[in-house]
Structure 1
Amino acid sequence: MTLTELKYIVAVAREKHFGRGAEACHVSQPTLSVAIKKLEEELQVKLFERNANEITVTPLGEEIVRQAQSVLEQADSIREIARRGKDPLAGSLRLGVIYTIGPYLLPDLVRQIIEKTPQMPLMLQENFTVKLLEELRTGEIDCAILAEPFPDTNLAIAPLYDEPFMAAVPSSHPLAARTSVTAEELKKETLLLLGTGHCFRDHVLEVCPEFARFSTSAEGISKSFEGSSLETIKHMVAAGMGITLVPRLGVPKSALALSGQDTSADQPSYIRYLPFEGHVPTRRVVLAWRRSFTRYEAIAALRNAIYACELPGVIRLS
């Protein structure tokens, strides 16, 4: 039994035709037919039912074809490992990103990767922190961009940047006339939060002691709403339903004119983004990967690509 024979039976099963299967494998039909006949004799089973119009796979043949496909994929993995040994940047890198970072970082990051390391395409996944940590543990992804804190899972960690939060208030709100705001001023407002499972919800309540202290108090936040994404919550803020906090990269460039940070931008109509006075709530964004992951050059290239992104308003970490 050879890998070539397994390749032939997979092709015939897919094409349901010996001629098209041979064409897909770039061999003559007699060569393919002889090889499959030899394999059937070795296994002492019939893999295909042959008739004038169509080739069908026998029930036992279907199981063997599935296993053959798996073997071929594993063989390709061996070749991929060998290629990476010659060039650690060769081959895709499976990257996970939490929901509250992905939309704001990935477009620029993908462009940087294409420009700097085109031989290392990113396979991207957005998910919750707990899910990404599990996929790191099981090897389903190679690395992840997360926000601290998260449970210690014995991962290797490289800090990327500290990202301040800004308050988002409706343009019709009294606070919209301010140039900055304090957490104390927000404690009696209607607070719009992400739903349970989003780490950004926990970050808001952890880094803003006022929110954490008053969220369960009768004299604190009057009410709250849980949304599925930051963009959904922004639309609710624009509709005047409450206020929220957003990470700095989630603030549109056009919105910075009203805060005095970008006088060249067009002024938005519905939301004011206000920086905090005094203590500025911040989250730390990190790159995490398994300690057993050996493509150190790929991790370094990814980190360099992240640093090459614009990242306005954050504090880059080395």
Structure 2
Amino acid sequence: MTLTELRYIVAVARERHFGRAAEACFVSQPTLSVAIKKLEEELDLKLFERGASEVSVTPLGEAIVRQAQSVLEQAAAIKEIAKRGKDPLSGPLRLGIIYTIGPYLLPELVRHAIDMTPQMPLMLQENFTVKLLDMLRTGELDCAIMAEPFPDTGLATAPLYDEPFLVAAPASHPLAQQRSISSEALKQETMLLLGTGHCFRDQVLEVCPEFARFSSNAEGIRKSFEGSSLETIRYMVAAGMGITVVPQLSVRTWDRSEGPNQQVVYLPFEAPAPTRRVVLAWRRSFTRYEAIAALRNAVYACALEGVTRLS
């Protein structure tokens, strides 16, 4: 049994496909297949079920893949310990971030990270929460910036900030004249929602649960619309097609003197205003503690207007 063979089975479990796993490991498919077959013979069990279009992991294989991932992490930790002895912040940091935070935090965060720790470049991955959790678990990411709640996967977390929600309405809408708004007042409005998979969509539906029923039947098409991004939805609000709920940091990225922000009014919720908690998460086995601390410091160096910083 070798680390290379363990790396191969982790790749197949992640990709669910021998060809893609071989590409990810930079080897030919026959080389990967032979190595996995050799390991299965050594262990005297089947790790994978080969289907016509997809590979599935056997129940016992799942446990072995998890252990293999842990062994690979521990082996990588040996190199990390050696690096930390020379420079704890040397080498790239693989950072994941969800779609509804990335565009509004990353530009400033990356600038501060370059200024504060130029020897630690950030390798960025934007994705859904569920995918980032999977990538953390398999070691493809070192850490991720996400919004709570998310499934407990044994990760270590550090709170960054609490971010309030705002209602975005067309400037010509009657609600635009109010100083604040209640979730009750949104019940009769056409709500523009993010599509399924976005955790921010789920958080909005917690604030306005009556809209949950509209996203699962044909009648709802008349009452709600699902967009692929907050920016798409914001343009639709500017066009007068409905209202939406947005996170605080997304507002400051739009120049109010031009573009759709001329036609959009942002209204705070009545107290208690709904918020989301943004956290930094990483595997407990990740050994670069100084890198995590440096990333948090870079986040805190950002303006973060309108949010509550957490230490």
Query: TM-score surpassing 0.5?
Result: yes
Find out whether 1:311 has 2:301 as its counterpart.
Answer: no
What's the offset of the Cα at 1:215? 3.8
Does the CA contact (< 8 Å) of 1:137 and 1:290 recur in 2? yes
What's the offset of the Cα at 1:153? 0.2
Find out whether 1:297 has 2:294 as its counterpart.
Answer: no
What's the offset of the Cα at 1:266? 11
Among the aligned pairs, what percent are the same residue?
70
Unmatched 5+ stretches in structure 2 = 1-26, 33-75
For the structure 1 residues 98 and 191, does the alpha-carbon distance in structure 2 shift closer, same or farther, using more than 3 Å as the test? same
User: In 1, Cα distance between the equivalents of 2:200 and 2:155?
Assistant: 21
Cα deviation, 1:252-283, whole Å, max 9, x if unaligned, reads: 366789xxxxxxx9994210001111220100
Divergent runs of 4+, >3 A: 76-82, 253-257, 265-268
Find out whether 1:216 has 2:213 as its counterpart.
Answer: yes
Pairing of 1:18-29 with structure 2 (within 5 A): none
Give the secondary-structure state (helix, strand or coil) at the position aligned to 1:216. helix
Find out whether 1:288 has 2:281 as its counterpart.
Answer: yes
Give the secondary-structure state (helix, strand or coil) at the position aligned to 2:293. helix
* Counterpart for residue 183 of structure 1: 183
Greater CA radius of gyration, 1 or 2? Answer: 1
Cα deviation, 1:24-76, whole Å, max 9, x if unaligned, reads: xxxxxxxxxxxxxxxxxxxxxxxxxxxxxxxxxxxxxx97xx99xxxxxxxx9
- Tell me the TM-score normalized by structure 2: 0.70
**AA partner of residue 289 (structure 2):** Y
* Counterpart for residue 87 of structure 1: 87
What's the offset of the Cα at 1:189? 0.4
User: In 1, Cα distance between the equivalents of 2:260 and 2:141?
Assistant: 40
Does the CA contact (< 8 Å) of 2:194 and 2:230 recur in 1? yes
Pairing of 1:113-124 with structure 2 (within 5 A): 113-124=113-124
What's the offset of the Cα at 1:83? 2.8
User: In 1, Cα distance between the equivalents of 2:109 and 2:253?
Assistant: 17
What's the offset of the Cα at 1:214? 5.3
User: In 2, Cα distance between the equivalents of 1:306 and 1:171?
Assistant: 33
User: In 2, Cα distance between the equivalents of 1:237 and 1:180?
Assistant: 18
What's the offset of the Cα at 1:213? 3.8
Give the secondary-structure state (helix, strand or coil) at the position aligned to 2:262. coil
* Counterpart for residue 65 of structure 2: none
User: In 1, Cα distance between the equivalents of 2:272 and 2:285?
Assistant: 39
What's the offset of the Cα at 1:234? 0.3
**AA partner of residue 238 (structure 1):** A
Does the CA contact (< 8 Å) of 1:80 and 1:91 recur in 2? no
Aligned length: 237
For the structure 1 residues 78 and 292, does the alpha-carbon distance in structure 2 shift closer, same or farther, using more than 3 Å as the test? closer
Does the CA contact (< 8 Å) of 1:237 and 1:243 recur in 2? yes
* Counterpart for residue 8 of structure 2: none
User: In 1, Cα distance between the equivalents of 2:201 and 2:260?
Assistant: 28
* Counterpart for residue 142 of structure 2: 142
Does the CA contact (< 8 Å) of 1:189 and 1:221 recur in 2? no
Find out whether 1:160 has 2:157 as its counterpart.
Answer: no
Does the CA contact (< 8 Å) of 1:95 and 1:143 recur in 2? yes
Give the secondary-structure state (helix, strand or coil) at the position aligned to 1:269. helix
Cα deviation, 1:149-177, whole Å, max 9, x if unaligned, reads: 00000000101000000000011111111
**AA partner of residue 124 (structure 1):** L
Cα deviation, 1:198-248, whole Å, max 9, x if unaligned, reads: 110001112x1xx11454389x99611100000000011011111000000
User: In 2, Cα distance between the equivalents of 1:85 and 1:138?
Assistant: 26
What's the offset of the Cα at 1:99? 0.2
User: In 2, Cα distance between the equivalents of 1:242 and 1:196?
Assistant: 19
RMSD: 2.9
Give the secondary-structure state (helix, strand or coil) at the position aligned to 2:85. helix
Say which of 262, 266, 279 aligns to 1:273: 266
Unmatched 5+ stretches in structure 1 = 1-61, 68-75, 258-264
**AA partner of residue 306 (structure 1):** V
For the structure 1 residues 238 and 94, does the alpha-carbon distance in structure 2 shift closer, same or farther, using more than 3 Å as the test? same
User: In 1, Cα distance between the equivalents of 2:260 and 2:130?
Assistant: 38
**AA partner of residue 144 (structure 1):** A
